[in-house]
């Protein structure tokens, strides 16, 4: 009986996964057409947001947004944990349409995804090229100084095992130079829904928690912003800290910061 139950659950999961990819195709095709013809980045970003929301609604996982309204802190620098291939689409569905996202260069060569990201005005960076990283960092600082809202996955990549990986400093350098608040955003459920090395998505809910911003006045340096932001994210994310002591919020100072970091209340923000 137990084996039959496992077979049935596996079959349901496979059917759901195939349906989810079909729903993505149904959402992506008209979205790409509209992105190809729509003038202006802001208009195209609104199109992408609508397409992302339709996709998650179609697969029974509408993104629930909790916490602080982003609009109250706009413009700002948003940093989010990275656990799944779905995270970029989740942020697109959950956040306002005005964000410029930093994306790894490899995504520019992915069919369809690369086209969408370019039409949305994303910034691509070669993580292995120091000169390119510096060039993109300067561009993002200039954008932040102009008052543009920026979105980052500061871990840069993700793996199947849970945990918050070390942060890259670019987001925090841009925020410190532009004196913009850093808004930590926690994505829940994406690792379970479509983790690394899995092909078919699984059923399950998705939530995004927008935490209270980390003000640049309290942490004037990029390193200070990074450590304070990381402490908030670790306090609200039920996953281990994977950063070594020198680059994360480890050590006595890090433990004290995490102890002081507020755990955000679960207040739903209507879409």
Q: Is 242 helix (H, G, I), strand (E, B) or coil?
A: coil
This prediction has a pTM of: 0.87
pLDDT tens, N- to C-terminus, the chain (271 residues): 778 778 778 888 999 999 999 999 999 999 999 999 999 999 999 999 999 999 999 999 999 999 988 877 778 899 999 999 999 999 999 998 888 888 877 888 888 889 999 999 888 877 676 676 677 777 777 777 777 788 999 998 888 889 999 998 888 988 888 888 999 999 999 999 998 889 999 999 999 999 999 998 888 899 999 999 999 999 999 899 998 875 444 444 555 555 556 676 666 665 5
Residue 77 parent element (H or E): strand 77-80
Q: What is residue 135's predicted lDDT score, i.e. its pLDDT? A: 75
Q: What is residue 267's predicted lDDT score, i.e. its pLDDT? A: 64
- Widest pairwise Cα distance in the chain: 63
Q: Which residues fall within 8 angstroms of residue 22, CB to CB, at 6 or more apart?
A: none
Q: What are phi and psi of 110, to 5 degrees?
A: -80, 125
């Amino acid at each position: 009986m137990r084996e039959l139950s496992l077979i049935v659950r596996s079959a349901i999961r496979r059917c759901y996964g195939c349906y989810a990819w079909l729903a993505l195709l149904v959402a992506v095709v008209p979205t790409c057409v509209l992105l190809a013809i729509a003038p202006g980045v802001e208009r195209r970003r609104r199109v992408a947001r609508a397409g992302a929301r339709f996709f998650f609604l179609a697969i029974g996982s509408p993104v629930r947004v909790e916490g602080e309204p982003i609009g109250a802190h706009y413009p700002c620098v948003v940093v989010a944990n990275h656990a799944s291939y779905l995270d970029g689409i989740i942020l697109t569905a959950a956040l306002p349409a005005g964000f410029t996202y930093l994306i790894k260069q490899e995504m520019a060569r992915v069919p369809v995804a690369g086209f969408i990201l370019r039409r949305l005005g994303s910034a691509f960076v070669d993580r292995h090229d120091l000169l390119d990283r510096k060039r993109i960092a300067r561009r993002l600082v200039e954008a932040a100084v102009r008052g543009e809202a920026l979105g980052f996955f500061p871990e840069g990549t993700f793996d199947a095992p849970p945990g918050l990986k070390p942060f890259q400093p670019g987001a925090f350098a841009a925020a410190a130079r532009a004196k913009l608040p850093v808004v930590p955003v926690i994505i829940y459920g994406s690792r379970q829904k479509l983790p690394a090395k899995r092909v078919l998505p699984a059923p399950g809910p998705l939530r995004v928690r927008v935490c209270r911003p980390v003000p640049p006045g309290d942490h004037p340096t990029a390193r200070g912003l990074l450590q304070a932001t990381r402490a908030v994210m670790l306090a609200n994310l039920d996953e281990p800290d994977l950063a070594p002591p020198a680059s994360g919020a480890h050590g006595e100072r890090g433990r004290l910061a995490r102890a002081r970091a507020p755990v955000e209340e679960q207040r739903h923000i209507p879409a």
